[in-house]
Amino acid sequence: MTQERKIATANYGIIIGQAEKEKDIALLGLSSDLLKLANSYHIQLPQQFELHRVIPLGSLFFYHVELFDSQKFPKRVLLESEIGVGEVYRDSSKVLRLRRTQPIKYYRDKDGWLLSRRPMTFTEKKHLFVTSINPTSESSLFLIKNSVVCSLGDGLPEIVPLKDNQTLGMINGDVRSVTIDELLYNTDTALVTKSNHFELEAKNSTVHSNALHLKSQRSRPLNPQPGTIIFNNRKKSFEGWDGTSWKTLKMED
């Protein structure tokens, strides 16, 4: 499973869904009538709790789908359930749906909890609870390939998948997969390295800067490459190596 998006874990959302022939679950809303059809112990819930209002469309998150029998709370019985990683999206008809990208485990009242390899088929036309959850086990935290686990504080994990040729960085308070260019263009901190060699290997590579500062040299570098320029602190002048000898670079008055 190749992922390039951050896994949303901090926000809690809920919505009533409905199982259809397709594996994607239709998401209907959070009205009092829908809560009643899903056999909720809530009479009503504010719309701001709706899943798609707290989890951005297209963002991956850990979901929990539940189907209860018709007995009223607290006697109701869990019949079918599934936990996994998925995303909310709008189809071509603008209907909200849950795409179950990677199921983790499923439950049926006759079998108990079992590990899952594919999205389970819920009883068609039944109304389902769909909620976002936080991963609570190490197996869930390290489920996403090529990702790292960070902290949001207060015990909340944040799972950040990394892209090829990128690194983990924080820009404007957001920890995510970033390129070196993004880090350089969004920080006032100097780029510092202890390496003795820094090379741009692209054929037409360039360096853009308001100023170029050459540190003072009391001794010339050993084995210089043609084109090397230094500032000779003893002579107070710039010097360049032409492949044979050091030449003083003349400066206009």
Q: Is 49 helix (H, G, I), strand (E, B) or coil?
A: helix
Distance CA 116, CA 64 (A): 13
* Beta-carbon-side half-sphere exposure of residue 242 (alpha carbons within 13 Å): 6
Please give the pLDDT value at position 3. 43
**Which residues does the chain have with pLDDT short of 50?**
1-4
Tokens of 242: 């032409």
The dihedral over CA atoms of 17, 20, 26, 27, expressed in degrees to the nearest 10, equals -10
Residue 34, C-beta contacts closer than 8 angstroms, at least 6 positions apart: 16, 28, 127
pLDDT in tens, 11-34: 789 999 998 877 899 999 999 999
Please give the pLDDT value at position 160. 82
Question: In which element (H, E) is residue 169 found?
Answer: strand 167-171
Please give the pLDDT value at position 21. 77
Please give the pLDDT value at position 36. 94
The answer to whether the beta carbons of residues 101 and 8 sit under 8 Å apart is no
Distance CA 247, CA 253 (A): 18
Please give the pLDDT value at position 2. 42
pLDDT in tens, 95-127: 999 999 889 999 999 899 999 889 999 988 999
Tokens of 179: 């390129």
For β-strands 78-90 and 7-8, DSSP reports them as unpaired
Tokens of 81: 């359930």
Single pTM value for the model? 0.65
> How many C-beta atoms lie closer than 10 Å to residue 23's C-beta?
16
